[in-house]
Amino acid sequence: MNGPLLELFDASLLARAGEPALELGPAGGQATTFTFGELEALSNRTAHALAARGVRAGDRLAVQLPNGLEFLELFLACLKLGALFVPINVLYREREVSHVLADAEPVGLVAANATAARAAVPVWTAEEVSAEAAAAPSHRPAVALDEASPAAIVYTSGTTGRAKGAVLTHGGFARNARRLVEAWRITAADRYLAVLPLFHVHGLGVGVCCWLASGCRMRLAARFEADAAQGLFEAFRPTLFFGVPTVYVRLLEWPEPLARRLGAGVRLFVSGSAPLPASVFEAFRERFGHEVLERYGMTETLITLGNPYEGERRPGSIGRPLAGVEARVVDDRGREAPEGIAGELQVRGPGLFAGYWRMPEASASALTADGFFRTGDLAERADDGYLTLRGRASDLIISGGFNVYPREIEDVLLEQPGVREAAVVGRADPKRGEVPVAYFVGEADQGALEAACRRELASFKQPRAFVRVAALPRNAMGKVDKRRLASAAEAPET
């Protein structure tokens, strides 16, 4: 039994084998097209090549690759082997990669080159795996899978500091894809322009899974670039586009005549991974003639709420629960909060994650006694059921759709000579939503701190300002009062 996710994908990989599935190539250049049948055969060969290297059901395989054919082949190959796919952000530095590898303990890391990381696990290049796959059998491996079979471990900063591995199942991915295909009316006639990174659950669990579940045609870009996106829109003529708020801010740079012309053929623009400012929603409607559909989800839950395909798409709102999902807003005593009063958003439904990898206590505390996931986000409910986010219970920063946890940056700063104390908070940013700002006590040179963060952290985690202060504000319990720092962070950069 292939399990629910592969059975869902087989409506494309097998039943539509001769139909075009994937386009690859630079904007403005000649695209290379692959059929669903070719993807089936390529991923089967890759599965056999991995098996020859010792990858078995239940093993973890870490992958740190940019968007491309190899990434898709490896994802499908892991599903077919029953191995757990562990995507790693391509912007991660050695320190961050090492944490994921130490925690997941994969049998190997597939990277763009063998020197990508001084890893404690074997590092295989995508090129050598592809070369071995070319000589491997093209039939699908026979592995028994079911709803509960783990499919991936996707690392998320969550709300407790170091990244935690959320275990996502075959059944969870399948239920999420079915839910979205139905909610957003995605069909085989759609043309999906994919610009989001596939290592992120938005690009993988939403984009890739909806593509394979629906049998539509996907044009995969290496990354989002506003100038290149114009050429992709011109050449591919998409009907479906997913982005994060930062992407939509960049698209607003297009002149209105161009925006109207290129947006005319698009059926649906979707935004997620971070709150979409109401001002961006309104500006996009004015310039492109489209109302962006904002939805809500987390790595642990996939997509649970959204504005409707048909009906009011309310600026600043994340809409209502999708089919099969329950959502509630509770106060600090766990009671339902009144309409218009902010409380913690909690969600429940089929397809929630199976827990955090090897973290039973964190897994248990993430759920309430009646099975609701504690999102840590503050929301309020309108009288018609629409939900609006009002902040986060934690100080998690979301920058350009990526989670940035201050403690990780603070740890780097506190390792530097001349830093006695450090605290990091988010500052509103018109393009990325939020950016981190670092406050420190000590004699350290700000340039040295900036260099250390560049060396140790991914680009989206690097503070945009370093502010020296005489002391960090603290509350009566002696804890740093980040709310007071957050107010100060609105000041011009130092």
Strand partners, 243: 271
Which residues 6+ apart lie within 8 Å of 23 measured at CB? Answer: 31, 32, 33, 217, 218, 219, 220, 236
pLDDT at residue 50 in the model: 98
pLDDT at residue 158 in the model: 45
pLDDT at residue 480 in the model: 79
pLDDT at residue 239 in the model: 98
d(CA 241, CA 218) in angstroms, rounded, equals: 10
pLDDT at residue 120 in the model: 81
Are the C-beta atoms of residues 167 and 213 closer than 8 Å to each other? no
**Burial annotation 383-420 (CB, 10 A radius, 16+ → b, else e):** eeebbbbeebbebbbbbbbbbbbbebbbbbbeebeebe
The three-state secondary structure class of 52 is helix
Distances (CA, A) of 426 to 102, 388, 485: 29, 20, 9
pLDDT (tens, 9 = 90+) of the chain, 494 residues, equals 688 999 999 999 999 999 999 999 887 778 999 999 999 999 999 999 999 999 999 999 999 999 999 999 999 999 999 999 999 999 898 888 999 999 999 999 999 987 655 668 999 999 999 999 999 999 999 999 999 999 999 998 544 457 899 999 999 999 999 999 999 999 999 999 999 999 999 999 999 999 999 999 999 999 998 888 999 999 999 999 999 988 999 999 999 999 999 999 999 999 998 888 888 999 999 999 999 999 999 999 999 999 999 999 999 999 999 999 999 999 988 999 999 998 999 999 988 999 999 999 999 999 999 999 999 998 999 999 999 998 777 777 889 988 887 878 988 998 999 998 899 999 999 989 999 999 999 999 999 999 999 999 999 999 999 999 998 887 644 567 887 886 655 544 44
pTM assigned to the model: 0.87
68 closest CA partner among 226, 261, 203: 203
d(CA 299, CA 302) in angstroms, rounded, equals: 5
Largest CA distance in the chain: 68
Tokens of 486: 């957050």
pLDDT at residue 35 in the model: 98
pLDDT at residue 404 in the model: 85
Look at phi and psi of residue 9 and say left if phi exceeds 0, alpha if psi is from -120 to 50, else beta.
alpha
d(CA 456, CA 16) in angstroms, rounded, equals: 45
Task: Indicate the burial class of 490 (C-beta count within 10 angstroms; 0-12, 13-18, 19 or more).
Answer: exposed
d(CA 357, CA 33) in angstroms, rounded, equals: 37
Which residues 6+ apart lie within 8 Å of 477 measured at CB? Answer: none
d(CA 178, CA 7) in angstroms, rounded, equals: 12
Q: What sign does the dihedral 46-47-49-55 (CA atoms) show?
A: positive
d(CA 92, CA 97) in angstroms, rounded, equals: 6
Task: Indicate the burial class of 253 (C-beta count within 10 angstroms; 0-12, 13-18, 19 or more).
Answer: exposed
**Burial annotation 280-292 (CB, 10 A radius, 16+ → b, else e):** bbeebeebbebbb
Rg (CA), the chain: 22
Q: What sign does the dihedral 52-53-54-59 (CA atoms) show?
A: negative
